[in-house]
């Protein structure tokens, strides 16, 4: 891992999806979105996107198992993003993929679709965020269209190398060209909210502590 990647990952690991979403909003970029939930426990994911696009199965010569090439090329800085067009009638991620990704040090998976083998992911401690859970296999139902190309995650386009942050609130995708800028703004957002929380705990009335200008970072002290 390069020092630059390590620094960026460390910065985003200290932020939640809401702060990052607020920063994206401030820049006029697509904010965070709902519907992607952890399938076990309360994990968080922060990492760089490695992408997979799936499509309905068409009979013919068999290729690599869906997701296998993405796992093979991923590292301990990465999150695998699977685009299955939001389908929840078939699994697009399962236990053997979780095992393979975990052994590679992959930080987790965000799937625009459903997954199975939740218990295996949980036992591995491997974070999986998805639109649902279903036992139905992908075999004979799905095939891989591409890997390493831009994909859709809900309403957002994800390009390899984008920063992905996922937690219990939802998922945010930070375009690669804006990662540093978003990190700076989101860190400031989180700092302001911590200061407001501290004021509330010492008795400052809610309406005074939560002034819109303060939340936006446009107070006289911080123009």
Residues 28, 30, 35, CA angle at the centre, nearest 5°?
150
- Asked if 46 and 13 touch (Cβ cutoff 8 Å), the reply is yes
Cα–Cα distances in angstroms (integers) from residue 178 to residues 108, 110, 185, 202, 218, in the given order: 22, 21, 11, 37, 22
pLDDT reported for residue 208: 79
Q: How confident is the model at residue 205 (pLDDT cuts 50, 70, 90)?
A: confident
> For strand 132-133 and strand 109-115, is the pairing parallel, antiparallel, or unpaired?
parallel
23 has pLDDT over 80: yes
The backbone torsions φ and ψ at residue 56, rounded to the nearest 5 degrees and listed phi first, read -60, 145
* Cα gap 173→182, rounded to integer Å: 11
Residues 152, 153, 157, CA angle at the centre, nearest 5°?
45
pLDDT reported for residue 210: 74
Cα–Cα distances in angstroms (integers) from residue 73 to residues 40, 76, 85, 146, 156, in the given order: 25, 11, 23, 13, 23
Q: How confident is the model at residue 221 (pLDDT cuts 50, 70, 90)?
A: very low
Q: Count the alpha carbons within 13 Å of 157 in the hemisphere toward its beta carbon.
A: 6
Domain spans, the chain? 31-174
95: Cβ–Cβ under 8 A, 6 or more apart, which residues? 116, 117, 119, 120, 121
* Cα gap 177→94, rounded to integer Å: 32
Q: Count the alpha carbons within 13 Å of 6 in the hemisphere toward its beta carbon.
A: 3
- Asked if 49 and 173 touch (Cβ cutoff 8 Å), the reply is yes
Of 133 and 222, the structure prediction assigns the larger pLDDT to 133
pTM for this entry: 0.90
pLDDT reported for residue 3: 84
pLDDT tens digits along 26-48: 999 999 999 999 999 999 999 99
pLDDT tens digits along 48-84: 999 999 999 999 877 778 999 999 999 999 999 999 9
The SS3 assignment for 104 reads coil
Share of residues in the chain with pLDDT > 90 (%): 80
Topology given in CATH for the domain delimited by 31-174: Glucose Oxidase; domain 1 (3.50.30)
Rounded to a whole number of angstroms, the distance between the first and last alpha carbons of the chain is 37
Q: What is the dihedral of CA 71, 76, 77, 78, to 10 degrees?
A: 20
């Amino acid at each position: 891992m390069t020092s630059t990647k390590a620094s960026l990952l460390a910065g985003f690991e200290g932020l939640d999806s809401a702060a990052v979403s607020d920063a994206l909003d401030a820049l006029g970029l697509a904010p965070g979105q709902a519907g992607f939930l952890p399938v076990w426990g309360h994990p968080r994911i922060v990492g760089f996107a490695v992408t997979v696009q799936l499509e309905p199965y068409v009979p013919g010569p068999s290729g690599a198992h869906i997701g296998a090439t993405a796992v093979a090329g991923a590292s301990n800085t990465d999150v695998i993003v699977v685009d299955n067009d939001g389908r929840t009638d078939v699994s697009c991620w399962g236990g053997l993929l979780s095992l393979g990704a975990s052994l590679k040090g992959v930080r987790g998976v965000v799937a625009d679709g459903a997954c199975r083998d939740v218990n295996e992911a949980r036992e591995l401690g491997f974070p999986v965020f998805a639109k649902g859970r279903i036992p139905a296999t992908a075999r004979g139902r799905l095939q891989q269209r591409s890997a390493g190309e831009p994909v859709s995650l809900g309403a957002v386009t994800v390009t390899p190398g984008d920063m992905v942050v996922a937690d219990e609130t939802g998922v945010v995708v930070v375009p690669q060209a804006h990662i540093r800028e978003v990190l700076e703004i989101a860190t400031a957002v989180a700092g302001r909210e911590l200061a407001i929380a501290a004021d509330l705990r010492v008795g400052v009335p809610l309406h005074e502590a939560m002034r819109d200008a303060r939340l936006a970072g446009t107070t006289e002290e911080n123009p």
